[in-house]
Amino acid sequence: MRVQSLAWQMGRARIMYMSPKDLEDIYDVVIVGAGAAGLSAALGLLYSPQVANERESGQEPKILVVSKLQPLRSHTGSAEGGIAASLGNSEHDDWHWHYYDTVKGGDWLVDQDAARILAQEAPETVINLERSGVAFSRTDDGHIDQRRFGGHTADFGQAPVRRAAYAADRIGHQILFSLWQQCVGLGVRFAEEWYVSDLVLSSQHHSNQADLSQEAAVAGIVAFDSATGKVHPIAARQVLLATGGAGRLFHTTSNSWDLTGDGMALALEAGLQLEDMEFIQFHPTGLGHTGILLSEAARAEGATLRNAEGRAFMTDYAPDHGDLAARDVVSRSIMSEIDAGRGVADPSDPQGAKDCVWLDMTDIDRDHMLQTLPQVVETIQEYAGLDPTMDLVPVKPTAHYTMGGIPITTEGRVYQWMDGERREIQGLHAAGECSCLSVHGANRLGGNSLLDACLFGKRAGLDMAAQLLALGQTEGAVTARNQVEEAARRREGNLLSLLENQGADVPGDAAESASGPTPKNEGSRGDSQSADPHNAYELLARLGQIMETAVAVRCDQEGIDQALAALHGELEPQIKTLRSHSDSRVFNQEVTAIWEVGHLAELADVVLRASAARQESRGSLKRVDFPDRDDRRYLVHSMTAEGSEPSWQPVHILDMPPQARQY
């Protein structure tokens, strides 16, 4: 077990930079995203022997973390339940069991070499988080405490086991803050509230697409500083994408407003494939129509799902594990109850659709509930106005996690599946929810997302460190810069077209500064834009409805076809006409929203086409028209690029041949 040394011991503690005032000619590493995966990668890099040695001798690799949010706002902070590791602090556990649960939870679409690493290195990862400051809940003797979680079992599925290390129900907040604190200690440089608009690969032609028949390598990124509205070319020898998931594809989602799949879309736009995008996990217990997550920990502590008749229906669907069966199983069971007319209406909208079921927490001892589930209780009180010790709480499945993403190796290297082999893109890494290893297969096991982000984020950081020297010398740097600058010029042109909105009398940015500070119409066209048919926020909502109708929890060919027709026939033409209603560049959120909805539309297309191509039901994908798993044809990962049919990559099966998945 490798235990990391601590920041201050290196004598390097420095104040972080809030924002780069001046950029380097070329960076050794640029990390896009500052949640658990991005920050873990930065720390992995800085704790690596290569970088530690370099820093000892006064050499500093040039590293920049670019994030569209201030890092502490990252969505990692919303994770509630726990992080899985077979520490065995609460009862005997074994990493083989964790390995098995991960593979089974993923319905045997998991690459077993990756899942093996995940389970084996999990204890080390959690312990290093503790040593980084995470305020884990503790056993009476002072060890990290662990709780039960859906799908965590002992003896290969025989009995539930307490494997999820937790910090009350705020584990994500604790991990995010501790990782950020470590980065502060190490003087990591951040570009905050910079939105990355382009990923630039060196074999790119005039179009944005890479020619992947040739060797491709990273050249850098283009970033939009939202505070100033300036477009920056950032050349880099290595880039890591860690931008999180794409929950905003759906109207009802537990994801923050920023989870717009940017990293995945950047990869698509650069001509790369995405893996297994048809698999989107719906968390069974979103709070009514808000989609806000109520942690699985609630059911772990004794809460029960009930239908309109009051029946605890999960025992009908999963006799052995009941309410703690895997998430996809529970979500589908809830939908079956609703379809059978046994759903209930959200009490805040009593006349509305009966598309919820009850979460009954009233059997949990009040003091115990307040102690172990404070966040769940607070969310229910504030956003539903209910008292979970007395009232039944309406819940419905909420889009929660994208299992698919940018295909990576176990070292975090991005690759393309071509001619039956993996071809790596030199210098390009990815980690966390935007990536696909695949350790989650067709359905992620609870407690494995933070683990994946921290563990494989760090491994990617270590791998980038190992490649520093090889890529360190300047060969190609000038070319890379030229390419990135050219991409930035194109982006600047695009930006100008978004800002130059309706009518000839609208001044551009330059004209505005010449004519004084007063933009026309009181600085906004809020009162005069009723002639405008569309804005990005409205189209974002429309897209969420289309996707929710078509592929939330279950789907069929007809629904997918309708959604594709709406996407291409209705939505995409509207997105192309979007313009900003303000010509000011400073915190022009509408500009980033236009890019975000464009990204989501590209991803929606891939999700729909990958869902259509997989004619079976597996894990989170329920094809009503193909209700059974089909190992003969589909024990393969879908690899989908923009505008082409998916190709298929075989699943890595090492130790565990596919079995029926029953809970």
Partner 1 sequence: MSGDVAKARVTLRISRFTPRAEQAAKRPSSPFAAKSSSPFAKSTSPFGASSAPRRARGKRWTQDYSLVVRPQDSILDCLLTIKRTMDPTLAFRYSCGHGMCGSDAAAVNGTPTLLCKTSVGQSAQGAAVAAGSHCGFRHTRPAEGFKQADQQPDQPVKATTDRNDQYHQDNMIQQATDGIVDLGVIELAPLPGFPVQRDLIADIDPMLDQITRLKPYLQTDGKLATTSEGKVDVFEYLQKPDELAKYELLSNCIACGVCEGSCPVYAGGNPFMGPAALIAASRFINDSRDQAQDARFDAIDTEDGVAACQSVRACSRQCPRGIDVGEEMWQLISRVGQRQEQDLA
Of residues 134-193, those binding partner 1 (CB under 8 A):
135-138, 140-144, 168, 170, 173-174, 177-178, 181-182, 184-185, 187, 189
Cβ-based nearer residue to partner 1, 6 or 564: 6
Instruction: Report the site for partner 1 in 211-230 (rule: CB under 8 A).
Output: 227-230
Name the residue among 180, 390, 403, 373 with its Cα closest to residue 293.
Answer: 373
Element at 269 (helix H, strand E): helix 262-269
The least CB distance from residue 404 to partner 1, in Å, is 23
State yes or no: residue 354 binds partner 1 (CB under 8 A).
no
State yes or no: residue 88 binds partner 1 (CB under 8 A).
no
State yes or no: residue 348 binds partner 1 (CB under 8 A).
yes
Can you tell me which of 353, 478, 541, 624 binds partner 1, judged by CB under 8 A?
541
Can you tell me which of 49, 53, 70, 474 binds partner 1, judged by CB under 8 A?
70
Structure tokens at 372: 């172990």
The least CB distance from residue 78 to partner 1, in Å, is 5
Structure tokens at 202: 């060196």
User: Kind of pairing, strands 421-430 and 435-436?
Assistant: unpaired
Give whole-number Cα distances, 296 to 76, 388, 445, 552, 555, in Å: 16, 15, 11, 19, 25
Cβ-based nearer residue to partner 1, 15 or 660: 15
What is the Rg, in whole angstroms, of the alpha carbon atoms belonging to the chain?
A: 24
State yes or no: residue 5 binds partner 1 (CB under 8 A).
yes
User: Kind of pairing, strands 218-225 and 194-201?
Assistant: antiparallel
Cβ-based nearer residue to partner 1, 207 or 577: 577
Can you tell me which of 91, 339, 349, 570 binds partner 1, judged by CB under 8 A?
349
As a whole number of angstroms, the distance between CA 380 and CA 358 comes to 13
Instruction: Report the site for partner 1 in 480-519 (rule: CB under 8 A).
Output: 481, 509-510, 512-513, 516-519
Can you tell me which of 523, 533, 643, 650 binds partner 1, judged by CB under 8 A?
523
As a whole number of angstroms, the distance between CA 624 and CA 270 comes to 34
Q: Helix crossing, 536-551 with 557-566: angle to 10°?
A: 170
As a whole number of angstroms, the distance between CA 544 and CA 248 comes to 7
CA 388 to chain centre: 29
The least CB distance from residue 587 to partner 1, in Å, is 4
Residues, the chain: 663
State yes or no: residue 423 binds partner 1 (CB under 8 A).
no
- In a 3-state reduction of DSSP, which class is residue 30? strand
Cβ-based nearer residue to partner 1, 123 or 446: 123
DSSP H helices, 284-388, are 297-300, 314-317, 327-339, 366-372, 374-384
The beta strands (E) that lie in 91-214 are given as 146-147, 153-154, 159-160, 164-165, 190-192, 194-201
State yes or no: residue 75 binds partner 1 (CB under 8 A).
yes
**Within the chain, what is the greatest distance between any pair of CA atoms?**
74
- Binding-residue total with partner 1 (CB under 8 A): 111
Instruction: Report the site for partner 1 in 23-52 (rule: CB under 8 A).
Output: 23-25
Question: Candidates 361-369, 552-560, 579-587, 604-612 — which segment interacts with partner 1 by CB under 8 A?
Answer: 579-587
> How big is the CA angle at 106 (ends 100 and 107), to the nearest 5 degrees?
90
State yes or no: residue 133 binds partner 1 (CB under 8 A).
yes
State yes or no: residue 586 binds partner 1 (CB under 8 A).
yes
Structure tokens at 76: 């990692």
Question: Candidates 91-99, 460-468, 535-543, 625-633 — which segment interacts with partner 1 by CB under 8 A?
Answer: 535-543
The least CB distance from residue 211 to partner 1, in Å, is 28
Instruction: Report the site for partner 1 in 249-308 (rule: CB under 8 A).
Output: 256-258, 290, 292
The least CB distance from residue 609 to partner 1, in Å, is 28
Name the residue among 160, 184, 172 with its Cα closest to residue 129.
Answer: 172
Whether 242 and 37 have beta carbons less than 8 Å apart is answered as: yes
Can you tell me which of 104, 147, 232, 554 binds partner 1, judged by CB under 8 A?
232
The least CB distance from residue 29 to partner 1, in Å, is 11
The least CB distance from residue 548 to partner 1, in Å, is 17
State yes or no: residue 62 binds partner 1 (CB under 8 A).
yes
As a whole number of angstroms, the distance between CA 106 and CA 442 comes to 5
Cβ-based nearer residue to partner 1, 6 or 613: 6
Question: Candidates 56-64, 100-108, 243-251, 306-314 — which segment interacts with partner 1 by CB under 8 A?
Answer: 56-64
Cβ-based nearer residue to partner 1, 28 or 276: 28
Rounded to 5 degrees, what are φ and ψ at 308? Answer: -60, -25
User: Kind of pairing, strands 190-192 and 63-67?
Assistant: parallel
Instruction: Report the site for partner 1 in 593-622 (rule: CB under 8 A).
Output: 593
* Residues that are catalytic: 327
Can you tell me which of 385, 472, 627, 650 binds partner 1, judged by CB under 8 A?
385
Whether 155 and 32 have beta carbons less than 8 Å apart is answered as: no
